[in-house]
Structure 1
Amino acid sequence: MSLLRSTGLRRRTATLGLAVLLAAGATAPDALAAPAHRAAGTHLVDVRVVARFDRSAGQAAESIAPEPGGSVVIGMIPARQVVRVAPDGAVRVLVTMPLPPGGGGTTPVIGTPVVTGVARSGRGDVYFLYSAGQGGLTGIWQVRPSGAPRLVVPLPADTMPNALVVDGDRFLVTDSTGGRIWQAPLRGGAASVWSADPALAPAGFFGANGLKVHDGAVWASNSDHGTIVRIPVAAGGGAGRAQVRAGGLAGIDDFDFTGRGTEIFAAINQTGKLVRIGSDGTRETLLDAEDGMQGTTAVVVRGNRVYVTNGANLAGNNPDLLLARLRR
């Protein structure tokens, strides 16, 4: 989830993947152009707003799945939507999920139904997570050309599925309130717990949040503990023991690898920052509230493109999608 501010040229030492949400306000349609930002060995240039979303309609941007050609798919938390943003910034709603009977007040922790993680398979299928507090609705869904989504993998009603990854022929999903990572076949079917390592557990709110597969391991952020953990994939595909690889990241949501070893960009929701974590453990704030960050929820690196979403769910009224170029 996210917090926000406008852009400046600063470097500072830095210190949830789902938002707490719910505060409405109007969005400003104006564009924002940012100067280059430098961090040790890493440059973000041409930082700009690609699209602004309608906060009053619940469009708190939560997750990002890039597509060929420069468009991206984004999950919108309380709006229960999946949208596509074209390279020119045009926003099209692909799916709006229905409210469950009774309004979904049984959704874990949040108390309202939400769309969270999105992912795209190698053949172009788009999937998303819906947490409705009810069985038969909570789980992994597929966006279909007909506009009617299809439930691919049901998950227990008491889960809070947050981040979604397509890993070869399987899905991986973080469960923020259960402190688990689930797996399920890409073709659909039953899910099983891949890891319930204590390092994924919450401490009152959200545990396991962001999720990536990198260099023979599954990596996850823990919002409550402010950590990023690495879980090696054991022989046969099982989970090894989690190792904490970064700490001191209170309120971390999503993260991604930059392409330089284990260097990471981390979206810090609670304070609205994008932080670089070097392979040697050094860290710097690349973007903060003065750069337009408001409840920063997700970051994705694709080549020299860096996409960042702000959910403005904890503070601010300007949820948006930012795009920057990465110079190494």
Structure 2
Amino acid sequence: MPRVHRPAVVTAVAVAAGLLAAAPATGGEATVSDPHVVAHLQFARGESPENIALEPDGSADLTLSNARQVLNVTRQGRTRVLATLPEVANPHTPVVGSAVVLGIARAQDGTLFVNYATGTAATGVWRVPAHGGTPRQIAQLPPTGFPNGLALDERRGVLYAADSVLGTVWRVPRAGGVPTAWATGAALEPRNPRPAAKVGANGLRFHRGAVWVSNTNAGTLLRIPVRENGSAGAIETRATGLYALDDFDFVERHRDTALAAMTGGSEVALVRPDGTHRVVLTPGDGLSNPTSVAVRGRTVYVTSAAYFTRKDPNLLLARVHQRARD
């Protein structure tokens, strides 16, 4: 979620009455420990890390939304710019007004894909060569939209992009081409009437045969099954009450336990398969408006964009492990 002209996201989330409350930890569930910041970035330079893709060596490729860059950060905190998205004349991007780079996905061959929102014909999915290089647009998305979260289904050879303003999950061929409105509906739409606070479908992951999407205004985590023919199944609400929910990732490949970044309160929550959740990381651990989570093995990566605190955008690492059952 890139910075808007005023702290809209903090007030944007319409959390309905009767939402599930956070519950205490139970035996056998994952725990998070040893949080530490490995890289501090500079907000004044537009270095607000928005989304994460992980490399085989454990380094993280981050989109820096306002700088329009893709940055590689090693586990030791060394940084290298992989690509810069082209400047756009007179951007008219919904929500933020300026051109921003948002979601990122990595293919097995190292190719990176990013969403670029500009309010112009440059809005869409762009490809970055493995190890960095000149980005190239492979698909146009509506300039009136705000393509945010992005995920790749390698088996089907398609990308899924969550549009925060148009309440749509787009499906794009990995090779590029014409996008398809794959999933739509009220569950994906923004709930706030103010243009600078209209943020519906946001984070997106492909997990266990389904596309999972967060809705920031609604504070919900959604699951959309992928049918055998590739079409979208019915949208399921899997968790509610997640204030200012942004992106998320799953703790294990074969389970539906997730770690979710909640931007407004600068928290990360553990979301259980039954939809209940508890906070596991806070500002005291180094979070500053976190926007994305990535998990590999026992390591958790969290980006803090500092959109509203305007202090200490960073990349934080922590450990995740399964608690022994009683």
TM range (shorter): 0.7 to 0.9
What does residue 10 of structure 2 align with?
none
- Aligned with 1:236: secondary structure? coil
> Aligned letter for 1:229?
L
What does residue 263 of structure 2 align with?
269
Q: What's the offset of the Cα at 1:316?
A: 3.8
Q: What's the offset of the Cα at 1:39?
A: 4.7
Greater shift, 197-206 or 90-99, is seen at: 90-99
Question: In structure 2, what is the Cα distance between the partners aligned to 1:257 and 1:88?
Answer: 24
> Aligned letter for 1:91?
T
Q: Determine which of 140, 163, 180 is the counterpart of 1:192.
A: 180
Asked if residue 220 in structure 1 is aligned to residue 213 in structure 2, the reply is: yes
Aligned length: 294
Q: What's the offset of the Cα at 1:266?
A: 0.7
Q: Determine which of 154, 161, 185 is the counterpart of 2:140.
A: 154
- Aligned with 1:82: secondary structure? strand
Question: In structure 2, what is the Cα distance between the partners aligned to 1:198 and 1:272?
Answer: 27
The percentage of counterpart residues that share the same residue type is 39
Q: Determine which of 288, 307, 319 is the counterpart of 2:282.
A: 288
Question: In structure 2, what is the Cα distance between the partners aligned to 1:143 and 1:231?
Answer: 28
Alignment of 1:54-133 (within 5 A): 54-102=42-90, 104=91, 106-133=92-119
Q: What's the offset of the Cα at 1:195?
A: 0.4
Question: In structure 2, what is the Cα distance between the partners aligned to 1:157 and 1:316?
Answer: 28
Asked if residue 142 in structure 1 is aligned to residue 142 in structure 2, the reply is: no
Question: In structure 2, what is the Cα distance between the partners aligned to 1:45 and 1:117?
Answer: 26
Alignment of 1:245-256 (within 5 A): 245-256=238-249
Question: In structure 1, what is the Cα distance between the partners aligned to 2:223 and 2:217?
Answer: 16
Question: In structure 2, what is the Cα distance between the partners aligned to 1:82 and 1:141?
Answer: 12
Q: What's the offset of the Cα at 1:250?
A: 2.1
Pick closer, same or farther for the CA change 1:49–1:313 going to 2, 3 Å: same
What does residue 20 of structure 1 align with?
3
Alignment of 1:200-239 (within 5 A): 200-204=188-192, 205-239=198-232
- Aligned with 1:199: secondary structure? helix
Asked if residue 311 in structure 1 is aligned to residue 305 in structure 2, the reply is: yes
What does residue 51 of structure 1 align with?
39
Does structure 2 retain, via aligned residues, the 8 Å contact 1:62–1:298? yes
Task: List runs of 5+ in structure 1 lacking aligned partners.
Answer: 1-17, 24-37
Q: What's the offset of the Cα at 1:22?
A: 6.5
Root mean square deviation of aligned Cα: 1.6
TM-score normalized by structure 1?
Answer: 0.86
TM-score normalized by structure 2?
Answer: 0.86
Task: List runs of 5+ in structure 2 lacking aligned partners.
Answer: 7-23, 193-197
Pick closer, same or farther for the CA change 1:21–1:313 going to 2, 3 Å: farther
- Aligned with 2:229: secondary structure? helix
Question: In structure 2, what is the Cα distance between the partners aligned to 1:98 and 1:235?
Answer: 38
Q: What's the offset of the Cα at 1:122?
A: 1.4
What does residue 13 of structure 2 align with?
none
